[in-house]
Chains A and B, each alone.
Chain A
Amino acid sequence: MKYLDCVEVIVEKEQYAKNGVHKGMQGVIWLEESIDGTWDVFFDLWGEHGPIGDIAIKKEDLKLIPRMDARINEKIKAEFGD
């Protein structure tokens, strides 16, 4: 994984959920450096919607994907009622 790669969260954890990030959401590695086994991952929403934001996610909680789709994040956000 590296800067600007697309990734997907593969676990549901309270520490991510409290920031609005849930299993299945797709994001982008947003900073060049990895700290303490985590990546800073940015989770965007569609169009003019403001993003969910960027949070530190453990490397083992992510999988690399070839491209991301913010509409998936919209759908998951709605399912959780965030």
Chain B
Amino acid sequence: MSCYVRKTYLQPSPPKWDMWIHRDLSDNHCEECLVLHECWFEKKKTPKWPHHPFCHCILVDIQYNTVLSLSSCKCPYEKIDPYLFDPDNFYKHGKSAMLESWGYTIQDSTYLKEEIEKQGLEKYRNGDYTLGQLNAYGQRISIRVELPRKNGDGMVSFITGWMVKPNGLIQLNTPFGGK
């Protein structure tokens, strides 16, 4: 007697994401809820909801395909040059010496900007971020970035800080947030 074995192929389910929606249902509006409107978060890493008593905000499912295809990032060049490299000794934070010890100079600013953007966006899409401070300016998240040492073997990694903006945009806030 032959047996028929039915094979079931398991496919990993895509990550679940939320879009925060602020609903205009009262005369008073919380600044933080307003700034979260239409921001996208991985379900397990969404800001506390409800945000406060009588919060009218809702969370709406957003397709992961949408996150993958429409999310974007922006790294203001000036956060790298002049802030991080500080060529005119205007900011005096000692970060340029640290970067130079890794083999990077101000000439690498465009490379660093693009690499931080690439890794930041990839990790955001993978839900690989940590929620930070939320205030009227926005919800911050931290993302760890890795760079190869230009002057030797191995990698260095450090935290970057981002602001979550509407419709899948993340904007670099802090280029070096510590190791």
Contact = CB atoms under 8 A, between A and B. Distances in A.
A20 to B, nearest CB: 12
Contacts of A35: 31, 136-137
B97 interface: yes
A31 B82 CA distance: 15
Interface residues of B, number: 26
Nearest to A70: B93
Interface residues of A, number: 28
Interface string B51-92: 000000000000000000000000000100011000001111
Contacts of A4: 78, 82-83
A56 B137 CA distance: 8
Contacts of A30: 173-174
Nearest to B89: A67
Interface in B122-138: 133, 135-137
B179 interface: yes
Given A35-B136, A47-B98, A48-B179, A54 B173 contact: yes
B174 A54 contact: yes
B95 interface: yes
Contacts of A62: none
A68 B134 CA distance: 26
Q: Which of A35, A36, A48, A53 has the most CB of B within 10 A?
A: A48
A44 B173 CA distance: 13
B137 A68 contact: no
Contacts of B93: 44-47, 68, 70
A6 B54 CA distance: 39
Contact of A67 (B78, B91, B94): B91
Interface of B: 31, 78, 82-83, 89-95, 97-98, 133, 135-137, 140, 159, 161, 173-174, 176-179
Interface of A: 4, 6, 28, 30-31, 33, 35-36, 38, 40, 42, 44-51, 53-56, 67-71
25 contacts: A4-B78, A4-B83, A6-B91, A30-B173, A33-B137, A35-B136, A42-B174, A45-B93, A46-B93, A47-B94, A47-B95, A47-B98, A48-B98, A48-B178, A51-B174, A51-B176, A54-B133, A54-B140, A56-B137, A67-B90, A67-B91, A68-B91, A68-B93, A70-B92, A70-B93
